[in-house]
Amino acid sequence: MVTGLSSLLVESLTPGRIVAAVFLFTLSSFIVDFTWKPRYNNSLPRVGCGNGLLGTLQNWFYFVTRYHCWVSEGYEKYSKDGRAFLVPSAPSRPQEIVVPRPQTSWMLELPDRVLSTKEAHRDALHNDYQFFGVDDQFPIQTIHKHLARNIAGLIPGVQEEVHGAIDATFGHDTENWKSLSLWEAWLGIVPRVTNRIVVGAPLCRNEEFLSAQVAFADDVVRNSFILDMFPRIFRPLVAPFVVLPNWWHWRKSYLLAKPVIEQRLSDMTRKASGTDAAYDDWQPPEDMITWLIRKAQADNLGAELNVEMLSKRLLPVEFAAIHTTVITGFNLLLDLLASDPALGYLDTIREETARVFAEENGAWTKQGLARLHRTDSAIKESMRFSHFSRALTQRKVVAPGGVTNPAEGWHAPYGALLMLDLAGTHRDPALYDEPDRYDAWRFSREKEAYEAKAAGERGDAEEAMRIMRLGMVTTSPEYLPFSHGRHACPGRFFVAHELKMVLAYLLHNYDIKPLAEKPEGMWLGSNLIPAVQTKIEIRRRKETV
């Protein structure tokens, strides 16, 4: 009898029925997922294909190619009038409330117990799977505490890595033009320079270690998109297989970093004990490994003081620092090379950086880098003009009762996502003249005019403060590449120094042929995929610095 039933069951499992069963199970999982998502009241206008079942299915289908267009449409229709709107998101994520610029302060000043950056990041990056359950809060707190106070002392080491990485990437041939991938070139520079302050020398020059960290960052970007496409009920089944590359690449980097972390942990433990006279005058290198250990010791967090945990704590830092800086540098050179050569952008930056470098006696300092007004402006303008994401500032509603917007009266329930539209803001003609044009000196003209005035003509302290805020590291509701408010990127001061030093050394020592036009990237969901196939022609200058 049992055998007969088993045979009947096997015979009934035809390929068509199996496909139908899988389809129905997947569809029902999305429906269940849909019922778990937050509901919004009808006072919020919507963009996309519609709000019913058919519209929702269409939104999911078209999300990959139309999300950017939907947000642009909503910005023009609603944000410019100071109204929030709803935009469809990936299948497994709730619709997002796009908050208009006049309400930026309201959104960003709410406490973390109401609107959470941490939870928004955790959902977007699937931290529990991709980062092995380790979030970015401890590293962020560590950076806030240690990076700014040590940045002046880090500059000489960073300069050393910038010079070494650029020479290794572009070579020393002064006779022949070399064609190479601009994307790969930046991947040859940024990971090494960044890791000078993450793991220190000589590990920051280990190609195998750097490749593993870059691959891990690639894994996170790719897997975030993949996991967003699965209903949440599937994730415990699917995610462990999807993130296998994450584990593999972390493991490779961990084994290479392990001796360094073990030695540092041992040395700092003996130093902290105060009982080993050999360590009375010893000071640890100032890098992220040291800072994590120092903070864990100060906060008496014993669970943080083991090699594997310290290695995992580096992962969010590596991910956040590498790809964003690579994309920023990549876009910067594209914007400069695709500009009309008659504007003299490259020659002007070359002159400014060479002059200040000579004034600093051939060694960059924090003060010297701060005097690179036009270089700073060129970078800031590229960050305004060239985007790699539609939204970098997101908050998740974590208050059990949700939150009500005082300006419009709409209510965002628990689990809702709020975001600021970076691209719409940066291309708004009400905020920037000719916003669709790259103008390298957009932010330096006013600063240079102010500094050219006599001391008595410079206005009051408020005017001086406004001029200071024109720098690339100063965030505002009108300038959002580093986000804004208390959760603005804590590493932006290092990134500013890094990019200035890279641009200075590159232009001092190499000539690069201009591009006829700027290659366009491709929007994929909420992110812009750079034109990584772009090649440049470069040659070492005979007169170098």
CA pair distance 318, 403, nearest whole angstrom: 34
CA pair distance 252, 237, nearest whole angstrom: 25
Cβ burial, residue 92 (10 Å; 0-12/13-18/19+):
buried
Look at residues 394, 389, 151 and name the one whose alpha carbon lies nearest to residue 287.
Answer: 151
Q: Which residues of 110-123 are buried (b: 16+ CB within 10 A; e: fewer)?
A: beeeebbbbbbbbb
Q: Are 105 and 429 in contact (CB under 8 A)?
A: no
DSSP 24-92: HHHHHHHHHHHHHS----TTS-B-SS-SSHHHHHHHHHHHHHHHHHHHHHHHHHTGGGT--EEE---TT
- Adjacent-strand bridge partners of 324: none
Query: What are 284's two structure tokens?
Result: 């640890």
CA pair distance 128, 312, nearest whole angstrom: 12
CA pair distance 229, 270, nearest whole angstrom: 49
Query: What are 55's two structure tokens?
Result: 């519209």
Q: Are 252 and 212 in contact (CB under 8 A)?
A: yes
DSSP 326-356: HHHHHHHHHHHHTS-GGG-HHHHHHHHHHHH
Residue stretches of the annotated binding site for heme = 489
Indicate the residue type of 314.
L
Please provide the distance, in angstroms rounded to a whole number, between the alpha carbons at the two ends of the chain. Answer: 88
For residue 114, give every residue at least 6 positions away whose Cβ sits within 8 Å of its Cβ, in sequence order, or none: 397, 398, 399, 403
Which residue in the block uniquely carries the two structure tokens 């809702």? 416
Residue stretches of the annotated binding site = 489
For residue 2, give every residue at least 6 positions away whose Cβ sits within 8 Å of its Cβ, in sequence order, or none: none
Query: What are 257's two structure tokens?
Result: 């970093």
Q: Are 361 and 515 in contact (CB under 8 A)?
A: no
Assign 3-class secondary structure to 429-478: CCCCCCCCCCCCCCCCHHHHHHHHCCHHHCCCHHHHHHHHCCCCCCCECC
CA pair distance 435, 426, nearest whole angstrom: 7
